Amino acid sequence: MRNIFLGSLAMVLFASAAQACETAALGDLAIGDAWSRATIGATRPAVFYVAITNAGAQDDALTGITTPAAAMAMLHETVVKDGVASMPHAMRVQVPAGQTTELAPGGYHGMLMQLASALNEGDSFPVTLTFEKAGEVTVNVDVLSLRSEGPTCDDAS
Ligand SMILES: [Cu+2]
């Protein structure tokens, strides 16, 4: 039993890049393009980016994220005021009906602190998103290179 458990855990934490760009459905929400960047060591926080499409008629909101990859995961917003960037904690990220909301470089993002281990390019790990109305869904996050600006998910190959 022990070996079976360890084997499946390893698959979750180190699933291959074949899962890149998969989309998870939760009611009227489609959650896709989940990615992160490789980290140098485990002491600095990692980022989490994702695209959420709300095809329904009701507004929703992302209220939190959790992951076994980090002891502490928060939603942040990047705000530049008078040329100075800061990252206040975002209690909720609006997911308006009929729109795609992105957590992306320069805007809203997930911040993963106290990493269990460094993130290496090619790894993937699960993140569970909690929505005010739709509930919870878990997506696989692909770890891209240190300088990546995002996945290329329209690649049909
Ligand atoms: Cu941040």
Residue 86 lies in a domain: yes
How many angstroms is it from 129 CA to the middle of ligand 1?
16
- Provide the 3-class DSSP secondary structure of residue 9: helix
- The contacts of residue 149 (CB under 8 Å, 6+ apart) are 105
Residue 5 lies in a domain: no
- The count of other CB atoms within 10 Å of the CB of residue 85 is 9
Q: Confidence band (pLDDT; 50, 70, 90) for 22?
A: confident
How many angstroms is it from 70 CA to the middle of ligand 1?
14
Q: Which of 133, 85, 132 has its CA nearest to residue 109?
A: 85
Q: What is the per-residue pLDDT for 18?
A: 41
Rounded to two decimals, what is the model's pTM?
0.84
Q: Which of 146, 147, 128 has its CA nearest to residue 31?
A: 128
Q: Which residues pair with 74 in a beta bridge?
A: 111
Number of domains observed in the structure of the chain: 1
Q: What is the per-residue pLDDT for 21?
A: 74
- Rounded-to-integer distance, Cα 106 and Cα 67, Å: 22
Q: Which residues of 12-34 are buried (b: 16+ CB within 10 A; e: fewer)?
A: eeebeeeebbeebebebbbbbbb
CATH code where residue 76 lies: 2.60.40.1890
What average pLDDT does range 32-55 have in this prediction? 96
pLDDT of 19 over the 90 cut: no
Residue 65 lies in a domain: yes
Residue 16 lies in a domain: no
How many angstroms is it from 41 CA to the middle of ligand 1?
17
Task: Collect residues with CB below 5 Å from ion ligand 1.
Answer: 76, 87, 111
Residue 152 lies in a domain: no
Residue 8 lies in a domain: no
Residue 117 lies in a domain: yes
- The contacts of residue 48 (CB under 8 Å, 6+ apart) are 34, 36, 65, 67, 73, 103, 109, 110, 111, 112, 127, 141
How many angstroms is it from 46 CA to the middle of ligand 1?
9
pLDDT of 2 over the 90 cut: no
- Provide the 3-class DSSP secondary structure of residue 83: coil
3-state DSSP percent of the chain in helix, strand and coil, to 5: 10, 50, 40
Tens digits of per-residue pLDDT, 53-74?
Answer: 999 999 999 999 999 999 999 9
Q: What is the per-residue pLDDT for 32?
A: 95
Tens digits of per-residue pLDDT, 103-156?
Answer: 999 999 999 999 999 999 999 999 999 999 999 999 999 999 999 999 887 654
Domain extent for 65: 23-143
